Structure 1
Amino acid sequence: MHTDKGNNVKKYISILSDMENKIREGLYLPGQKLPSVRMAAEAYGCSISTVTRAYAELEKRHVIYSVPQSGFYVVVKPGDWRDNRDSGIINFATVLPDLDAFPYLDFQHCLNKAIDIYKYDLFTYGEPQGLESLRHTLVSHLANDQVFPKAERIIVTSGAQQALEILAKMPFPNGKSAVLVEQPSYDRYLRFLETENIPVYGIARTAAGMDLRELEQRFRSGEIKFFYTMSRYHNPLGTSYSMEERRAIARLAEKYDVYILEDDYMADLGAERQFDPIYAYDGGSHVIYLKSFSKIIFPGLRLGAIVLPERLLKTFHAYKIYPDTSLLSQAALEVYIKNGMYERHKHRISSLYASRMQALRESVERYNEPGLMEVPDISSGIYTHFKLKSTVNLERLLQRLAERNISAVPGKGFYLSNYLEREKFLRISISQTQPERIDEGVKAIVEEVRREIR
């Protein structure tokens, strides 16, 4: 009996080691789906429970992640960008900023300056709402996006995710309990809502936009406490709402006493001007405005800012009781904004991404064929999506692309588990892909999709 147990442990360790080696050596690419538990058990000649345990440990180590009703996928890690360039991988899967464009020296200067300015204050816990001087700096910073709050209504959070989680859990003054989300939408937030058993409904959003009549019906139902939306550079679609749609959403929110949670996480990556968020049409009575600084600088900064309507402040403070956001990061960001470095870097990186998106559009025009893929006309941000025919075998397509050293993310994980009316697509990110590799990658995707539909 002890021998069997010992053998099982040895088998588990050897499987875990083998899987880690395959991922490290690039046999499983970032974003690629792993074999199912049953297939892996057959391949390794072991029980399903042994493979399940190995996958659970890999997920715990953040090597892989699971998508409900889909399977396990390899995580795109911060180090992958260098490995990918060396190995010739065309990475359309990663959402990390281009580390070659990372303002390392500038931000190092701001960190040193922040230490000089704040000295011993940085060793205190600070205030739960965030560094006061940063919040005042953010008043003028947010004004560039037509968001005009008082400093008291701005709260600094540990990335946008913390704010999203608090808002999902806390009660709202409208007395409603359900969250309405676009379908597709931000995958990690969908998984959080499902895991926490928060009542959640989906409403279709496509490249063409939103059915505002259906949105009004949902608002009228009396169940929705807030509607989570990305008004521009939607993840995963890459599209933005028109001015008429943004204005209409604000009007419906006020009419039916439903709050809008506007995640403007890529506000700084737009090449175009004159984009007023939904918040600008509401004045801040029913729109919660959320901004992240991760995409423009670097994810490890873990800083976000949320602008709350007056009626939500007290409850939000009660749920965010700890000053858990790094004071040094906040102080450095304040210096970075005030000395003009943020604005300069914003223009540099948005121009960089715009040129890559232009290269992608040109490649799509060059290689795509009528009836093959539907690709929206996007000029800013880092995302777009290639909509495929329902007959395409997506897993086989991704496998063929992986064999050609191309990684992309399938659309399935961006939907609620019980949402049935899904579109079939690949999400394409250009954040770390050079223009010449973009052309090569688009050509290969078109070739493989053509093979699939023949």
Structure 2
Amino acid sequence: MRKYLFILSDMEQQISEGHYRPGQKLPSVRSAAKSYGCSTGTITRAYAELEKRHAIYSISQSGYYVVGKPEEQSGSAENKSKLIDFASVLPDVNVFPYLDFQHCLNKAIDTYKYHLFTYGEWSGLEKLRHTLVSHLASDQVFASADRIVISSGAQQALEILARMPFPSGKRVILVEQPGYDIYLRFLEAEGIPVCGIARSTKGIDLQELEEKFKNGGIKFFYTMSRYHNPLGTSYSVEERKAIAGLASKYDVYIVEDDYMADLGEERGFEPIYAYNRTSHVVYLKSFSKIIFPGLRLGAAVLPERLLETYHACKSYADTSLLSQAALEVYIKNGMYERHKRKICNQYTARVRALNEAVERYNDAGSIGVTCINSGIYVPFMLPKTVNLDSLTKRLAMRNVSVVSGKRFYLTDYRERDKFLRISISRAQPEQIDMGVKAIIDEVRQGNTH
């Protein structure tokens, strides 16, 4: 057994270090057995495991070859864009689980057959909803399958909740400022009553929140309790407990968007949902950030009192049953957890590289940075004298793409911080140091003009 594990580990290392190049043929089973001093059966088993891990592939009557990565197949490094991408929030295409998910799609078709090509239930594939019961429980979200509704991403659920009436009869939606820009623009475009409350990297003013819950006619408070977009921070245990308590006290619902739940290393994080005992929390989860955006699958855990109205607003099935079935297989066979660990490790390493670069170049304190160790967002707080538009243009000329903090506020919200939202999801590790240096250089120069 030890011999087999040593051989498997050694082969993986040689592939990752480039001793075997993409498309290169590996030694024959007989030749490898002679080289490692083992049986051909041990080599065959090692090759089979490498093939299962999508590191190599076999061609009948020919042998085994190293799988090429997407970026290696599309051209040489010299031909690739030199853009340092701190703007994109999409998952890194190089870690998309294409082959694993393809296997799950095939398995889903074999399992469900023609049932996948009907309309299905408005609430989603029953088997997936039952699988999500235990999946969500690992995040301390305990709910029966009949309270879980599959949606076309978290965005669809957010739009339905904004439009539908709530039992309290209240109409105003309270949002964090800064907050999720796409939802803010939707609320404003639809003319839905909305007001803001300040949230900073240090948290939220709970007294102000209570005042708004008490007198603001708040229908629900939309919040990202974990890895907030754009701030990257999470609420403390005390804040989460307090928000849950205020919701019960003033009959205000919380819509908790936990779309980044799987992208951090923080263990034992209990969402606001776990602390509320009066069913005043709608819990939302997206699967797009961990697998790939085109999947467009999310889940909403709804209080009993909201189910009937939500059903009336989402009266038909509008999410691919094939995608749902494939996701069910993907979660059930452990691939989701395995991929989650892989992407979390990658993102954590990138955030660490970003923090180290800030420490290296920000000795004069040109930008304000809260140390964030998980997720994908880190805000760079800027001096009031910096012109944001000019800064982003100068950085673009240096091939550094960033996002201005301006877009994360309601149009009429006045108390704004000046910052850049930095995302590490597509910033390659070797680019991060150079990108952070460029930002700090430009902030310094902009401050002296």
Q: TM-score, normalised by structure 1?
A: 0.81
Matched, 1:279 2:273: yes
Partner in structure 1 of residue 147 of structure 2: 153
| Cα contact 1:146–1:276 (8 A) shared by 2 | yes
Matched, 1:362 2:350: no
Counterpart of 2:420 in 1: which secondary structure? strand
**1:329-408 residue pairs with structure 2 within 5 A?**
329-408=323-402
**1:260-271 residue pairs with structure 2 within 5 A?**
260-271=254-265
Matched, 1:212 2:210: no
| Cα contact 2:366–2:382 (8 A) shared by 1 | yes
Partner in structure 1 of residue 68 of structure 2: none
The 2-side partners of 1:131 and 1:315 are apart by: 20
Amino acid paired to 1:304: G
The 1-side partners of 2:119 and 2:233 are apart by: 40
Question: Alpha-carbon deviations, 1:339-367, whole Å to 9, x = none?
Answer: 00000000110111001000001101111
Partner in structure 1 of residue 36 of structure 2: none
Question: Of the two, which has the highest radius of gyration?
Answer: 2
Partner in structure 2 of residue 240 of structure 1: 234
The 2-side partners of 1:145 and 1:127 are apart by: 26
Partner in structure 1 of residue 443 of structure 2: 449
Counterpart of 1:267 in 2: which secondary structure? coil
Amino acid paired to 1:167: L
How many aligned positions are there?
374
User: Relative to structure 2, which stretch is displaced further, 89-98 or 367-376?
Assistant: 367-376
**Cα offset, 1:222, TM superposition:** 4.6
Instruction: Report % sequence identity.
Output: 71
**1:131-210 residue pairs with structure 2 within 5 A?**
131-210=125-204
User: Relative to structure 2, which stretch is displaced further, 89-98 or 364-373?
Assistant: 364-373
Which residue of the other structure, out of 64, 89, 95, is the alignment partner of 2:89? 95
Q: TM-score, normalised by structure 2?
A: 0.82
Matched, 1:423 2:408: no
Q: Which runs of 4+ in 1 moved over 4 A?
A: 82-85
User: Relative to structure 2, which stretch is displaced further, 370-379 or 347-356?
Assistant: 370-379
| Cα contact 2:172–2:216 (8 A) shared by 1 | no
| Cα contact 1:284–1:308 (8 A) shared by 2 | no
The 2-side partners of 1:91 and 1:280 are apart by: 36
Counterpart of 2:282 in 1: which secondary structure? strand
Amino acid paired to 1:320: K
**Cα offset, 1:143, TM superposition:** 0.5
The 2-side partners of 1:407 and 1:309 are apart by: 41
Partner in structure 1 of residue 433 of structure 2: 439
Partner in structure 2 of residue 40 of structure 1: none
The 2-side partners of 1:295 and 1:332 are apart by: 16
The 1-side partners of 2:397 and 2:365 are apart by: 25
The 1-side partners of 2:438 and 2:286 are apart by: 34
The 2-side partners of 1:113 and 1:102 are apart by: 19
The 2-side partners of 1:199 and 1:434 are apart by: 41
Amino acid paired to 1:407: S
| Cα contact 1:284–1:309 (8 A) shared by 2 | no
**Cα offset, 1:371, TM superposition:** 3.9
Matched, 1:319 2:313: yes
Assess, with a 3 A threshold, how the Cα gap between structure 1 residues 421 and 427 changes in structure 2: closer, same or farther: same
Segments of 5+ residues of structure 1 without an aligned counterpart are: 1-78
Question: Alpha-carbon deviations, 1:186-242, whole Å to 9, x = none?
Answer: 100000000000000000001111000000000001500100000011001111111
Matched, 1:116 2:106: no
Segments of 5+ residues of structure 2 without an aligned counterpart are: 1-70
Question: Alpha-carbon deviations, 1:59-110, whole Å to 9, x = none?
Answer: xxxxxxxxxxxxxxxxxxxx9xx89981200000001101111111100000
**Cα offset, 1:322, TM superposition:** 1.3
The 2-side partners of 1:321 and 1:436 are apart by: 49
**Cα offset, 1:369, TM superposition:** 3.1
Amino acid paired to 2:385: T
The 2-side partners of 1:140 and 1:94 are apart by: 32
Counterpart of 1:135 in 2: which secondary structure? helix
The 2-side partners of 1:283 and 1:307 are apart by: 14
Matched, 1:295 2:289: yes
The 2-side partners of 1:222 and 1:437 are apart by: 46
**Cα offset, 1:433, TM superposition:** 1.1
Partner in structure 1 of residue 45 of structure 2: none
Counterpart of 2:431 in 1: which secondary structure? helix
The 1-side partners of 2:369 and 2:429 are apart by: 18
Counterpart of 1:290 in 2: which secondary structure? strand
Counterpart of 1:171 in 2: which secondary structure? coil
| Cα contact 2:248–2:278 (8 A) shared by 1 | no
The 2-side partners of 1:390 and 1:182 are apart by: 21
Counterpart of 2:168 in 1: which secondary structure? coil
Counterpart of 2:262 in 1: which secondary structure? helix
Amino acid paired to 2:379: H
Amino acid paired to 1:115: I
| Cα contact 1:271–1:380 (8 A) shared by 2 | yes
The 2-side partners of 1:144 and 1:450 are apart by: 45
